[in-house]
């Protein structure tokens, strides 16, 4: 019964927060306007087309996509932190964010249509992880260490390539688009993005949920996991693939949003402890709530929308310091 209540709470809180967020936005809508739209759709009544467009085609897909992106980045960060036994690891550790950023910048320069940003960013995010594995093959050292070092190398190279693309981009048109995308935003959210990017995000998240108890074994170390009969290489590869799919799917539609994959898992550990059987579902719920709240703030704080990456850094940095002071490393 306690476990059932735990999962009910994890589902209820993001749903309630999403429902409340529908009422927030720069265009003034009363509670009556929103309920008229929602009940009008259910009862098939005529509603104001302007209110319908704002609620159903602008705010609702943005909230859904924000929840999916936040959940994907958070659960990927939690999986990486547990598998590599490193509290400073995040969802973009293997260079996914830098690779996706390069792909998006390249698409913005090569093509006039914004559509190409999504496949290019997703594809180069996967290429970045593949390069990490190739670098790891050059040495016989511990695979976990080589993957982390490979992620640092690949991320640095792609960051340099992004800087090069900024240098050669048109300063009047292409450069502002690249900079804005790299700072993260959900302003282009629609149901097509939810459908297309949702496939890798949902697939990766479900895969991590399926092996959440095995993450506890992987966190014990390679020798201990092998002594318990776990195929360490196979499960590590599976976790990396799932986390990469979830992260790449999120980054390709939202841009680079930092700190979520680092901070939210620590928030989850404060509530559930280190047991990944409860931590993974908790991170999905907390991550969805966190990005929904941050997106609400970005829409309401200024007349022009503030990029999400700025807000997550402003909120994440001080909060992470608070977590370090609060826990004093006890969660690890």
- If you write DSSP's letter for every residue of 256-267 in order, what string do you get? ---SHHHHHHHH
**How far are the Cα atoms of 245, 270, 316 from residue 323, in angstroms, in the given order?**
28, 9, 10
| pLDDT for position 276 | 92
pLDDT digits (tens, 9 = 90+) for 169-217: 999 889 999 999 999 999 889 999 899 999 999 999 999 999 998 999 9
Spatial separation of the C-alpha atoms in residues 328 and 332, rounded to whole Å: 9
pLDDT digits (tens, 9 = 90+) for 317-327: 888 787 777 76
Spatial separation of the C-alpha atoms in residues 206 and 278, rounded to whole Å: 14
Domains of the chain as residue ranges with CATH: 58-327 (1.10.3470.10)
Residue 205: half-sphere exposure toward Cβ, Cα within 13 Å = 27
Residue 332 has pLDDT above 90, yes or no: no
Interior/surface letters 22-58, b for 16+ CB within 10 angstroms, e for the rest: beebeeebeeebbebbbebeeeeeebeeebeebbbee
| pLDDT for position 282 | 96
Q: DSSP letter at 115?
A: G
Weakest mean pLDDT among 17-26, 37-46, 134-143: 134-143
Spatial separation of the C-alpha atoms in residues 294 and 311, rounded to whole Å: 7
Interior/surface letters 88-125, b for 16+ CB within 10 angstroms, e for the rest: ebbbbbbbbbbbbbbbbbbbbbeeeeeebbbebbbbbb
Spatial separation of the C-alpha atoms in residues 65 and 307, rounded to whole Å: 15
Residue 142 has pLDDT above 70, yes or no: no
Per-residue pLDDT band for 100 (boundaries 50, 70, 90) equals very high
Average pLDDT over residues 264-283: 91
């Amino acid at each position: 019964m306690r476990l059932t209540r735990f999962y009910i709470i994890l589902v209820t809180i993001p749903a309630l927060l999403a429902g409340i967020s529908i009422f927030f936005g720069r265009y003034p809508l009363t509670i009556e306007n929103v309920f008229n739209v929602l009940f009008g759709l259910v009862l098939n009544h005529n509603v104001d087309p302007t209110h319908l467009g704002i609620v159903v085609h602008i705010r609702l897909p943005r909230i859904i996509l924000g929840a999916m992106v936040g959940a994907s980045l958070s659960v990927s960060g939690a999986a990486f932190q547990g598998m590599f036994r490193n509290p400073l690891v995040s969802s973009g550790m293997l260079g996914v964010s830098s690779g996706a950023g390069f792909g998006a910048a390249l698409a913005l320069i090569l093509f006039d249509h914004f559509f190409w940003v999504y496949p290019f960013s997703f594809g180069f995010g996967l290429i970045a992880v593949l390069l990490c594995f190739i670098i790891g093959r050059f040495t016989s050292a511990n695979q976990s260490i080589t993957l982390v070092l490979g992620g640092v190398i690949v991320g640095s190279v792609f960051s340099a390539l992004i800087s090069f693309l900024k240098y050669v981009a048109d300063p009047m048109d292409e450069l502002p688009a690249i900079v804005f995308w790299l700072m993260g935003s959900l302003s282009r959210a629609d149901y097509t993005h939810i459908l297309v990017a949702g496939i890798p995000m949902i697939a990766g998240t479900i895969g991590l949920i399926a092996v959440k108890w095995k993450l506890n074994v992987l966190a014990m170390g390679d020798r201990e996991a092998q002594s318990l009969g776990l195929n360490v290489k196979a499960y590590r590869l599976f976790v990396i693939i799932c986390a990469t799919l979830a992260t790449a799917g999120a980054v390709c539609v939202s841009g680079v949003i930092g700190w979520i994959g680092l901070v939210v898992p620590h928030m989850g550990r404060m509530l559930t402890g280190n047991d990944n059987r409860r931590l993974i579902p908790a991170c999905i719920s907390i991550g969805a709530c966190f990005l929904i709240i941050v997106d609400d703030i970005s829409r309401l704080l200024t007349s022009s929308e503030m990029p999400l990456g700025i807000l997550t850094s402003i909120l994440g940095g001080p909060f992470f310091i608070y977590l370090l002071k609060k826990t004093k490393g006890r969660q690890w």
